[in-house]
Structure 1
Amino acid sequence: MKKNIFLYLFVFAALILLYSLVTGNKIQKENEAAILKLQGEVETLKDSVQKEKLMVLDMQYFSLENNDDALAYYDHLNLKKPTRYIEDKLLETNEKKGDNPLIPYEGMQSDFKINKIKVMNHRWIVADFSDGQYWGDIVIKYELKDDLSVDFTLLDHLLYTRSN
């Protein structure tokens, strides 16, 4: 009887070992497949990140912050962030009552105000404006003077038409 119990225990232990071996092997294959899939996704994401970096660099090409030659014009002014300073000065033109004086259109829904600004270099700005329903773009020439005043001159403008 004792012999049979040890035989049954041995067979039972062998079955558990066999089950563990088969299950472990199956889990290992599934994990390897998952790892390969994740490695492929990581490579895809690395490619996407690289494309996004190139796109950001391309977008920053026409930017005062990334133009050392243009920034050299402002070295003597000791401005830490000339782009921000110029943007703030341009946004101050929005504070006047009524339409922004640089926008050559009358607001239809409310007053036209400048929203987004891109300081391209030491002379030009591209900005968009809106009255809440209608919008457009303007190209502005500016001059930052030694006394830190800024003169803005409208070069060109565009008002988008609504199409239904």
Structure 2
Amino acid sequence: MKRAVLYLFILSLLFNVFQYMNSTKILKTQSKEIESAKAKTKMVRDSSNIVYNQMLDANYFSLEMDDESMNYFENYSIPELTEKMKNELLTLNEKPNGNPLIPYDPIGGNKFIINKIKLLNHRWIIADFYSGKIRGEILIKYFVNENKPTDFETIETILHSNTAPVQ
């Protein structure tokens, strides 16, 4: 009987040593995985912050980020106003000779039309325009009229030299 108890004691001691070693190994592995996950999370968070700051910088000149412009349009819904302005500018593309704000005649049968639009503040819009392979940018001054179409005036245009035909 003493031998059986001694064997059981030794067996339980070996079992406990095995359990301790196995648990220690599992704990170290999990600790490494947690540290790796923390490092990846920090890297993703840092990347996210960089992208967020770049987005803020890119949108610095935008109606939605300009407090003075927001105050100027306090009686308007900015998303609705933005949509209205874009629709009015794109509607001008339907004219027979293209968008009248773009001071260039059609080239090769392609009229110049506005493609992308960004409201910079409560007075200026920048837009991308194209005619076939030729593209450029236009700076537009605008004034919103209550219950009337918006007044638009071309301030400046740029034709990109690498897209303009050589004459």
TM range (shorter): 0.7 to 0.9
Going from structure 1 to structure 2, the CA distance change for 1:120 and 1:19 (only over 3 Å counts) comes to same
8 Å CA contact 1:136, 1:158 repeated in 2: yes
8 Å CA contact 1:138, 1:154 repeated in 2: yes
Give the length in aligned residue pairs.
160
Instruction: Return the letter of the residue paired with 1:80.
Output: S
8 Å CA contact 1:65, 1:83 repeated in 2: no
- 2:160 corresponds to: 160
The reply to whether residue 91 of structure 1 matches residue 90 of structure 2 is yes
How far does residue 14 in structure 1 lie from its aligned partner after superposition? 5.9
How far does residue 132 in structure 1 lie from its aligned partner after superposition? 4.5
Instruction: Return the letter of the residue paired with 1:134.
Output: I
Instruction: Return the letter of the residue paired with 1:57.
Output: L
Q: Deviations over 1:44-85 (max 9, x none)?
A: 22222222222222222211122232233334xx43232222
Q: Which runs of 5+ in 2 are unaligned?
A: none
- Using the size of structure 2 for normalisation, the TM-score is 0.76
Percent of pairs identical after alignment? 34
- 2:142 corresponds to: 142
Going from structure 1 to structure 2, the CA distance change for 1:22 and 1:128 (only over 3 Å counts) comes to same
8 Å CA contact 1:108, 1:134 repeated in 2: no
Instruction: Return the letter of the residue paired with 1:21.
Output: Y
Q: Which runs of 5+ in 1 are unaligned?
A: none
8 Å CA contact 2:92, 2:98 repeated in 1: no
How far does residue 103 in structure 1 lie from its aligned partner after superposition? 1.7
In 1, the alpha carbon distance for the partners of 2:108 and 2:11 equals 87
- Using the size of structure 1 for normalisation, the TM-score is 0.77
